[in-house]
Structure formats: C-alpha cells, structure tokens
Structure 1
Amino acid sequence: MERVKDPDYHDDLQLNYVFFRHPQEQPPNTVAAHVARISSKMPRLPKLSPEIVAKAIYELDTLGLGCNEGDIRKFCNTYLFPKGAGGRRLLSSENTNIARHLVPNNPVVRSVVSRPRPELLYGYPTTDFAWDQSITLSNLHPQINNYAKAATKLFLPFFTVEFKAAAGTGGSLWVAANQCAGASAACIKAVNQVNTRLGDAGCIRRIHNVCYSLAIDNNLAQLFKKDKEGNLSFYIQRVDCFLLLNPEQFSRLHQWAMAILHWGQGERLRQIRFALDYIQSEQQMAE
C-alpha cells in the first residue's frame, strides 16, 4: 500500500515537519491577508457562462454513474484547467515526479514523505526570465544545481492538483489531501531558497511564500493553501470546499482556480524577477 493511503501517514508528515492546520484555526496574519487578496480579485475575472456550468454539471452526473481518475482529469481539463489556462507565462506538467531534493526530509527519522507526483503542477518555464535571471535561478543553491526546478523545464511551482474518482474506483480526497501536502511543501521549499538568497544579499523584501493545492473528485473539491512558519515547519490548511453539483459552488471553484493562476502569472512572477535581479546585482557588486 502506498504510504499516502496509510491511516498513520499524517505521523510521517509531522515527523518531517509537515502539519495539517485545522480549517477553523486562524492562520498567520500575513497568510490570511494574502488569501483574502487573491479571493478579492475573483469578481473581476471572466466567469463561466450558465450554459457551460449546466453542461459541466450534466457531465458530473454522468461521471457519478461510474468513472476513473482519467475521466476526472479529462473533465477538469475541459472545464477548470483547459490547455493554456493561466496564459503563456505559465508552464504546467502532468503526472511528473517532483525533484527529490524539494521533498521535506528530516534526516534523523526513518519516516519519509512520499515523493509527490501531482496530476497537475503549475510553475514557470525558463523563457519567463531574462538570460541573467536564468543564470541566477540555476545557481540559487551552493550544492544543488537548478534547485528551484521541480519538474522538467518547470521552475518555482505554486499550484498543484490531485484528481480522484469517487465512483467506481474508490478514490479518496483524504489521500489526495495527503498528496497535496507533500507537493505543496516542495513548492514552498523552492521559493524559500530564493528568499534565503535575498536575505544573504541584504534585502528586506521577500516573495510571499504561499502556494495552493486542489484535491478534487466527481463530487467534491477541497482547496488548500500552504505556508511556512519558522525555519522548518510547513502548514497546509483548507481554504474552501465545493459541492460540484451546485452551480454556484462550481462557478466559485472555477473563479478560485483562475484567481490563483492570475496571481501566479502576475504578482508572484514579478516578485521572483525582482528577487533574481537583486541577487544578481549584489553578486556583481561583491566581485
């Protein structure tokens, strides 16, 4: 049995400093403000038409008669994450292992975090960065080249999605959430290295080290955020939950997804470019 399916897997996560924060617990103020700012942009983004929502719900009812994860993937790629979602500045990968060095690892314990293989992962291609920025990006870590590369050609990810099928194959959103916990921690580690280098360069500004993940089947979807507290601990917390057969909730899920991708290709990418320029500038001054 895969460890993410084990009833005691949360113990493995905690031993590696990955924790589930209770959904009703108040997160740090900076994290709460970030989530509020993302959600505030939702009303200004394009919405699905009532006709498309009705068609999506009809297909969900059909999936409820029997489906597998491939069917859920196809549904989500049609209605929530169509090809090109997020614009040309984003790169997505499917079913690709995240680089092992980004997976949280406490060397003094035997329990490990299962290597994430998200169904869908959003980040950036090197073409989003100028040549000098790409050089800095590839040399963020003194021992590990391309430390921030999570998957083939994909750097600094910020949004992961896990699909399950609740009709016919026994898919579990609890397992999907466990998978989200590992994958989103890897996203946090990648950006943390950029922030570490910013601090070493004497910059007081930091990239907002928050990322998002989605666990979804043909009935429900759970949206999570992930943040880092202190030097070690990662916290994942549910932000929202959606009953997909409810038209209003399905539409809200779509708006959330678009808002996260909009943030990723806008504000977050600008912060990363600033950080790389700053690090490079300080390196040149020191030489």
Structure 2
Amino acid sequence: MTLGSPAVDGIPDSIGGFGWPGKADGRLVQHPLYRSVNLNNNCIFWCPPTKDIPPHVHELAEMVWRRRDSPAHSPDDKHADWLLELENNAEAPEVEDYFKTAIFPKPELTSALQRTDRQPMAGHTIPTEQRDAPPLAIPVPSMLYGYSRDQAFGAEAHQWFDRKNNSMVANERGLIFPFLSVQFAGERDSLWAATNTCMVASAACARLAERFNSELHAGVAALPSVTHIVMPPDPAFSIAMSGTEARLYLTWVEDVWPDSAYYVWKMDEFLLQKSADYARFRQSVLNIIEWGETERLELLKNGLDVLSFAPE
C-alpha cells in the first residue's frame, strides 16, 4: 500500500511531471516509513557511514569547514537569553525569526544572490521519474538560497532560459539554480521530519545543477572551439534545525543506470547552546553563502556564455 494514499493516512499530496505543485501539505514527511519507502523508491538515499564520499563532495565540505577572516561571533548575555528561550519554549516560527536575523543574511533585492522564504518548489525540480513510485511531499523550504534571473545573468542567458522553458527555475518567485535549503523546527517538532524535507529539497537543487551540466556537456561537444570548461558542482547543501540543534547535509548525484541516485550525507551537526558550536555553525553557513555568491555563480555564468553560442 502506498504511503500518502487516502487508504493509508488521508494525505493525498504528491508530485508528478512538470508544472507548479497544487498542494503543499507537508504532513507526509512525518510518516515513519517515508524515508525508507517514499524517498528510497524515488532514488533519494541517506548516505550510510560505510559509503565513500566522492572527492568533489569532500572538497566542498572542506570549503565549508574552512576558517573565515571575517569577525567572529561574540556572544553576549542577550544572545544567551535568546538561546535559552528557544530551547525551552520556541515553536518553529520563533526559531525561524531569530535565526533569520542572527545567522542567515537576507540579500538586497538588487543582488544577484537571492533568498525566498516558504515557497513551494516547482514540480519539475523533484526527482519523481520512477514509474509507480510512491509520492513525495512537496518541499516548502523555510528558506532557499539561489539567484535572481534578472540580476545574476545577462540578456543572452535569459534567451537560453526562455528556450529551455525556464526549466532551471526552482519556484514561483523565479529563484534560479538554488544551492542551500533550510528547514526550521520547533522544540516540540521533529528534526527527522525536517530532514526528510531537506532530503527532497536538496535533491531538487542537485537535480537542477545536474540538468544544467548535461546541457553544458552537449553544448561543449557541439562547439569544436571550446576544448575545456569547468563544470559547476552539482552538490547542494541543506540544513535542518531547531532552537538547540542544527544538522548540515550535503547532497550529490550519482549516475546509476538507468537513473540518477541522490545521496544525502550528514556532514556536520551543531549544539547551538555551546558557543563554540554556534560560532562554527555561523561560519559554515557564511562560507556556503559566500561560495554560492562567488565561485559557483562565476562557473554558472561561464557555462551560460558557452551555451549562448551552442547550436540547438
């Protein structure tokens, strides 16, 4: 019997094919078998400890763990009081409100980097090609970092996006090429369920990058004058967190014939009441965002420059 069908739990939310999702009910992620049945049958897997981490994935992890030159976080009494309150009483909205100010930057509207809050991801981003596979809950990340089509890319890139029917767009706000999703939970909520949402959201981000790289491979092959180009990395980051704990994941794609498989690795975890962990978490988040705003974006622009000259 399929999880998510009315016969099991009365939750009919699912995604199939292309287009915008019509229902954003996330209760399906709370089902105890959601990970082993729904995710695994759609080729989204939890990375076991025995699995070797690919070199390009480990290289990204090293980037996240790198120390920053920016001023370190200096906790004060007010900060400690807030963290205590988050531990004892906070619901998910309070956790979200606090960390949106304390940790996660909100880019200016004119910035190439953008963040959307609580927007359902588009159906065409979700890995659901498996025939007769059980449904996936529509991911609605608390926050999703990516780029503004208009601010990040030029006119020739826009023409390429239009030819591809905006298949790189992640949600109705027009966020493109996302790379970091965040899911908040209150102290009485389940980080397990929040992680399930992260697993689908980050697989969707990795899928968009994989789709772009497939187009780029084909474009390079059609242009004899282009002998080499560095592909943008397809792994994507996600964070599931409460007022006391944060878990950082890195998702990558492996080609396993006849389909792609998405592996989600818990690369780090943080106890936010510990000042050292809090500072390390903040450093990790800022490193990811800086990487997305600089190195990753530059590789995407270079790839789009090539694709603008490639024949259809």
Q: TM-score by structure 1 length? A: 0.90
Alignment of 1:175-214 (within 5 A): 175-201=193-219, 202=221, 205-214=230-239
SS of match in other structure, 1:228: strand
Q: Which amino acid aligns with 1:139?
A: R
Distance in 1 between the 2:30 and 2:302 partners? 40
Q: Residues 72 and 218 of structure 1 are in contact (CA less than 8 Å); yes or no, is this contact kept in structure 2? A: yes
Residues 1:131 and 2:152 are matched in the alignment: no
Q: How far apart are 1:34 and its partner, in Å?
A: 2.1
Q: Residues 220 and 243 of structure 1 are in contact (CA less than 8 Å); yes or no, is this contact kept in structure 2? A: yes
Q: How far apart are 1:177 and its partner, in Å?
A: 0.6
RMSD: 1.9
SS of match in other structure, 1:64: helix
Alignment of 1:238-253 (within 5 A): 238-253=266-281
**Paired position in structure 1 for 2:252:** 227
Query: 1 or 2, which has the higher helix percentage?
Result: 1
Q: Residues 86 and 244 of structure 2 are in contact (CA less than 8 Å); yes or no, is this contact kept in structure 1? A: no
Q: 2:168 aligns with which of 136, 148, 151?
A: 148
Q: How far apart are 1:282 and its partner, in Å?
A: 1.9
Q: Residues 207 and 268 of structure 1 are in contact (CA less than 8 Å); yes or no, is this contact kept in structure 2? A: yes
Q: How far apart are 1:47 and its partner, in Å?
A: 2.2
Q: Residues 227 and 234 of structure 1 are in contact (CA less than 8 Å); yes or no, is this contact kept in structure 2? A: yes
**Paired position in structure 2 for 1:47:** 72
Q: 1:93 aligns with which of 116, 125, 146?
A: 116
SS of match in other structure, 1:34: helix
Q: How far apart are 1:176 and its partner, in Å?
A: 0.7
Residues 1:32 and 2:55 are matched in the alignment: no
Q: How far apart are 1:26 and its partner, in Å?
A: 2.9
Q: Structure 2: which 5+ runs fail to align? A: 1-8, 10-26, 222-227
SS of match in other structure, 2:170: strand
Q: How far apart are 1:55 and its partner, in Å?
A: 3.1
SS of match in other structure, 1:174: helix
Residues 1:279 and 2:287 are matched in the alignment: no
Q: How far apart are 1:57 and its partner, in Å?
A: 2.8
Over 4 Å off, 4+ runs: none
SS of match in other structure, 1:19: strand
Relative to structure 1, is the Cα distance of residues 50 and 56 closer, same or farther in structure 2, using a 3 angstrom cutoff?
A: closer
Q: Residues 15 and 106 of structure 1 are in contact (CA less than 8 Å); yes or no, is this contact kept in structure 2? A: no
Distance in 1 between the 2:68 and 2:230 partners? 29
Relative to structure 1, is the Cα distance of residues 56 and 25 closer, same or farther in structure 2, using a 3 angstrom cutoff?
A: farther
SS of match in other structure, 1:65: helix
Relative to structure 1, is the Cα distance of residues 96 and 32 closer, same or farther in structure 2, using a 3 angstrom cutoff?
A: same
SS of match in other structure, 2:309: helix
SS of match in other structure, 1:150: coil
SS of match in other structure, 2:308: helix
**Paired position in structure 1 for 2:96:** 73
Q: Residues 41 and 133 of structure 2 are in contact (CA less than 8 Å); yes or no, is this contact kept in structure 1? A: no
Greater shift in the superposed pair: 66-75 or 198-207:
198-207
Alignment of 1:251-266 (within 5 A): 251-266=279-294
Distance in 1 between the 2:75 and 2:92 partners? 26
Distance in 1 between the 2:264 and 2:278 partners? 23
